[in-house]
Amino acid sequence: MSADTEVQPIVKMCGITIAFPGVLALDGVEFRLLPGEVHSLMGENGAGKSTLIKALTGVYSLDSGTITVAGRERRFEATADAQAAGISTVYQEVNLCANLSVGENVMLGHEKRKYGAIDWRATYAEAEKHLAGLGLEIDSRAQLARNSIAIQQLVAIARAMVLDAKVLILDEPTSSLDRGEVEQLFGVIRDLRDTGVAILFVSHFLEQVYEISDRITVLRNGKLVGEHVAKDFPKDALVAEMIGRELDDLAAISDRADRAIDRSGTPVLKATGIGKRGVLSPADLEVYKGEVVGFAGLLGSGRTELVRLLYGADRSETGEIQIDGKSVRIHTPRHAIDHGIALSSEDRRAEGVVADLTVAENMILGIQARRGWLHPISKTEKDAVVKEYMSALGVRPANPNVPIGNLSGGNQQKVLLARWLATAPELLMLDEPTRGIDVGAKADIQRKVAELSEKGLSVIFVSSELEEVLRIAQRVLVLRDRRAIGEIESHSVDLDGLVDYIANSEEVSVMR
Amino acid sequence: MSTTDTTARQSTDVATTISTFTGRYVSLLPTFAAITILIALLVGAELYFGNFLTPRNVSALLLDNAYLMVLAVGMTFVIVTAGIDLSVGSVMAFTGILGASLIASGIPVIIVIPVMLVAGAAIGLLIGVLVQYFNVQPFIASLAGLFLGRGLAYVVSLNSIRVEDPVLVWMRTRIPLGDFYIAPTGIIAIFTVIIGALVMHFTRFGRTVYAVGGSEQSTRLMGLNVARTKVMVYVISGLCGGLAGLLLTAYTGAGYPRNGIGTELDVIAVVVIGGTLLTGGRGYVLGSMIGVFVFGTIKTIISFMGAEQSWTHIIVGVLLLVFVVVQRAIVSRSQQKE
């Protein structure tokens, strides 16, 4: 620990605050990065990780706070400024130009010149030198697109070396790599660290974070939670810090949900061995009438993937699905809708609301889709449906004729919920229905789910907020590293128990 | 035993050579295709007519299409960034009639020529600024440029203005080269192509043009100046429009406000036939020159056959369709490689 304080940090961020309309993305965050360390930035979605990175790379400007790089205070107006200060970033989606050659991508903007013209021979020689420095022996004149994502990622790192980066930010670099490629990348990362480069590593794979990191900083809800030395920071403590455990007054909902489910009959949904290579290992699941099943696990654990396979948004390669005891094919969302399954997607903006349509139009979309476009819905029927759900869910403003884009996140979510409820589904799947919305709206939505399940609706509830899952689900399916690792009755476990289960379940092996 | 070893090694050697070659030069394929088509057209026409590849015809191929070639150079820059410039035909008409009217009113040609070039570049700058800073689609912004240029041309004059200036007359003087001949307009066009090719290949600006066409987002994140590059390509295209106006005025001996109606589409066609991808990121100025020759040859063949010139556009349309499909296939194959 004492060594930490003696070394001067290469990057020091003080009191970083960034606000977007309606959201405080970062709230006075402190962060420091030492030369020659691998530092992981952890936090759930919306915790502020990417905002912090974008502040450091000059994509976002600060509302307040200071960034000091190598002892000098800096203001970054653009990515180029950050690069000039020695900060380079390798993104998850490789941000290179696939149409250019490998060598050009490494050298772009820094080509060697002779008499004012680019000297290609020298430029490629320089590129090859940097590629070889990372142990890459590939044809530097070949098009970048002909190389695998893993190689492209290393090419992006080679580019950072050309810029003489003192700080290298790796944002989810491993999410599309296989085990061998991850090892190769980690080898390169360790070599760079040993030469004194400071590496900021972001990944949602806990194993990888512990394998590579020297220190870990945790963010939650835009605030700094803690900075730790990785080897003295147990995994469950990390998970607990990431998820947080704020107390709330939602006990009533919890009581309501705490009831026995009759599991003697035929399950509404029974999935056996459903999975897809590279996406999710085969998983089993049963959901009974009136039951709420929660999916718990960290981001990237396979929660959303399982939901999408059940809905036919992605096509499963293995397993079968039974609805009410009958074996059915669900290859497209249309099949799912026909069998009374509805999904409210995780990505509200991209896959849910149609921002330019009004609230009423958005609500009607679900019924319309279920009926087919050739069967218009009469105006009276439409008005009745809209009126019913506007008041049942308490959508604000109570005017159904405003564009939904003008509503707050929570109210948009209510409209989406209404859209699917109006189709009278047997099974409603809610993926992150409460993400990024305020506490009041969260409670409204949870209350509504509890109420509907009492009336016999089956629900799959996916959320990264574990208290929520425990509160409204009767049974929790725990996922980790793209596998279903177990099922728990929610009344038999408290939050600590669940966190512990996610972090330390024996099922979890070293192999990924 | 040893023989099979050697053959095996040889065949892997050949395989590596082929994969290295395709890895490096796959983007040249459409241009090779254009060259093949040009040769096939020329040889076919010579075999069919017997008197097609005469020095006179070949020389005319360059001179008749000099203005098109200059426009194609500018257009190549724009299309490689995944943009489009519909204004070039009317910019050419506007600068042409502007130049003719200035010369007619007695202003020395040494001033008139720069004014024509600057006028073209200014319209390009306007389009570039609209595209980059006001986020207007290139199609829409340059459509505005098209109407603006045409309107300004009519403001200058509704009728054709003859130009008798000695400099412009000299520009269309034929200089014999053996049985062939060339005029200064043709030399200017060739020079424009060479300069365009050098800028594209040997300057950081040129490489940034390709990078922007590959992925604008990545290019920005790589710390390159995307804004300046995008504005510049439209300025270059406008400048080429001004230069084409000068060449056309010299070539026809007059400025005419109705010149170049629909030329922008010809220019886009020749650029695409020359191997530039409309989706950006790939293309060559020299390829566009080949595209111009293909276009010009088709036109000459049609007039040799005594058929309607509208057949030119039918054939160019078919060629364009084939090329776009071929390019699509090449792109999707190279993307599969990921």
How high is the pLDDT of residue B11? 61
Tokens 């070659």 belong to: B21
How high is the pLDDT of residue B267? 96
Q: What's the token pair of residue A114? A: 């002779």
Interface test with chain B among A56, A143, A144, A171, by most B beta carbons within 10 Å:
A143
Tell me what the mean pLDDT of segment A181-186 comes to.
86
In-domain check, residue B75? yes
Inspect the interface and report whether the beta carbons of A98 and B20 lie closer than 8 Å. no
Tell me what the mean pLDDT of segment B245-272 comes to.
93
Inspect the interface and report whether the beta carbons of B224 and A95 lie closer than 8 Å. no
Chain B positions in Cβ-Cβ contact with residue A104 (cut-off 8 Å): 207
At residue A240, does pLDDT exceed 80?
no
Which CATH architecture fits A247-340+425-512? 3-Layer(aba) Sandwich (3.40)
Q: Are B227 and B212 in contact (CB under 8 A)?
A: no
Collapse the DSSP code of A116 into the 3-class scheme (helix H, G, I; strand E, B; otherwise coil) and give the result: coil
Averaged pLDDT of chain A? 84
Option in B222, B282, B338 nearest A99 (CB): B282
State pLDDT tens for residues A285-314: 999 998 999 998 887 788 888 999 999 888
Chain A positions in Cβ-Cβ contact with residue B208 (cut-off 8 Å): 108-109
Q: Which residue of B has its CA nearest to A54?
A: B221
Q: Could you tell me which of B202, B223, B218 has the C-alpha nearest to residue A122?
A: B202
Residue positions counted in chain B: 338
State pLDDT tens for residues B111-138: 999 999 999 999 999 999 999 999 999 9
At residue A5, does pLDDT exceed 60?
no
At residue A512, does pLDDT exceed 60?
no
Question: The domain spanning residue B117 has which CATH number?
Answer: 1.10.3470
Residue B268, beta-bridge partner list: none
State pLDDT tens for residues A260-287: 788 888 899 999 999 888 888 889 999 9
In chain A, what percentage of residues exceed pLDDT 70?
93
In-domain check, residue B16? no
Tokens 């200014």 belong to: B122
Name which residue leads in pLDDT, B281 or B94: B94
Q: What's the token pair of residue A259? A: 């009831």
* HEC secondary structure over A18-83: EEECCEEEEEEEEEEECCCCEEEEECCCCCCHHHHHHHHCCCCCCCEEEEEECCEEECCCCHHHHH
Element (H, E) at A12: strand A11-20
pLDDT interval class at A6 (50, 70, 90): low
Inspect the interface and report whether the beta carbons of A146 and B223 lie closer than 8 Å. no
In-domain check, residue B195? yes
Chain A positions in Cβ-Cβ contact with residue B223 (cut-off 8 Å): 78-80, 83-84, 109, 163
At residue B5, does pLDDT exceed 70?
no
pLDDT interval class at A238 (50, 70, 90): confident
- CA quadruple A365, A367, A370, A372: dihedral sign: negative
How high is the pLDDT of residue A443? 74
Chain B positions in Cβ-Cβ contact with residue A99 (cut-off 8 Å): 27, 210, 213-214, 281-282
How high is the pLDDT of residue B142? 96
At residue A398, does pLDDT exceed 80?
no
Min CA distance, B185 vs chain A (Å)? 27
Spatial neighbors of A64 by CB under 8 A, at least 6 apart, are A15, A16, A17
How high is the pLDDT of residue B84? 96
Chain A positions in Cβ-Cβ contact with residue B30 (cut-off 8 Å): none
What's the domain range around B76? 28-332
Min CA distance, A116 vs chain B (Å)? 8
pLDDT interval class at A201 (50, 70, 90): very high
In-domain check, residue B12? no
Inspect the interface and report whether the beta carbons of A97 and B281 lie closer than 8 Å. yes
> What percent of chain A is helix, strand and coil (3-state, nearest 5)?
40, 25, 35
Option in B221, B281, B337 nearest A99 (CB): B281
Interface residues of A toward B, Cβ cutoff 8 Å, are 78-80, 83-84, 89, 91, 95-101, 104, 108-109, 111, 113, 116-118, 139, 141-143, 145-146, 148-149, 159, 163
In-domain check, residue B199? yes
Inspect the interface and report whether the beta carbons of A99 and B23 lie closer than 8 Å. no
Tell me what the mean pLDDT of segment A445-462 comes to.
88
* CATH 3.40.50.300 placement within chain A: 2-243, 247-340+425-512
At residue A348, does pLDDT exceed 80?
no
Q: What's the Cα-to-Cα distance from B63 to each of A235, B174, B178, B180, B280, rounded to whole Å? A: 76, 10, 16, 12, 29
Between CA A65 and CA A17 the distance in angstroms is 6
In chain A, what percentage of residues exceed pLDDT 90?
20
State pLDDT tens for residues B250-260: 999 999 999 99
Question: How many domains in chain B?
Answer: 1
Tell me what the mean pLDDT of segment A357-369 comes to.
85
How high is the pLDDT of residue A194? 92
Q: Which residue of A has its CA nearest to B20?
A: A142
CA torsion, ordered A454, A457, A460, A465, to nearest 10 deg: -40
How high is the pLDDT of residue B99? 95
pLDDT interval class at B47 (50, 70, 90): very high
Q: Could you tell me which of A198, A202, A108 has the C-alpha nearest to residue A158?
A: A108
pLDDT interval class at A92 (50, 70, 90): confident
**Strand-pair category, A458-462 with A292-296:** parallel
Interface test with chain A among B204, B217, B222, by most A beta carbons within 10 Å:
B222
State pLDDT tens for residues B224-243: 899 999 999 999 999 999 99
Inspect the interface and report whether the beta carbons of A96 and B337 lie closer than 8 Å. no
Collapse the DSSP code of A98 into the 3-class scheme (helix H, G, I; strand E, B; otherwise coil) and give the result: coil
Tell me what the mean pLDDT of segment A83-104 comes to.
86
Name which residue leads in pLDDT, A423 or B196: B196
Class of domain A2-243: alpha beta
How high is the pLDDT of residue A510? 35
Between CA A135 and CA B42 the distance in angstroms is 51
Inspect the interface and report whether the beta carbons of A99 and B213 lie closer than 8 Å. yes
Between CA B164 and CA A98 the distance in angstroms is 52
At residue B177, does pLDDT exceed 90?
no
Option in A83, A111, A118 nearest B223 (CB): A83
Terminal-to-terminal C-alpha distance of chain A: 31
- ipTM score of the complex? 0.85
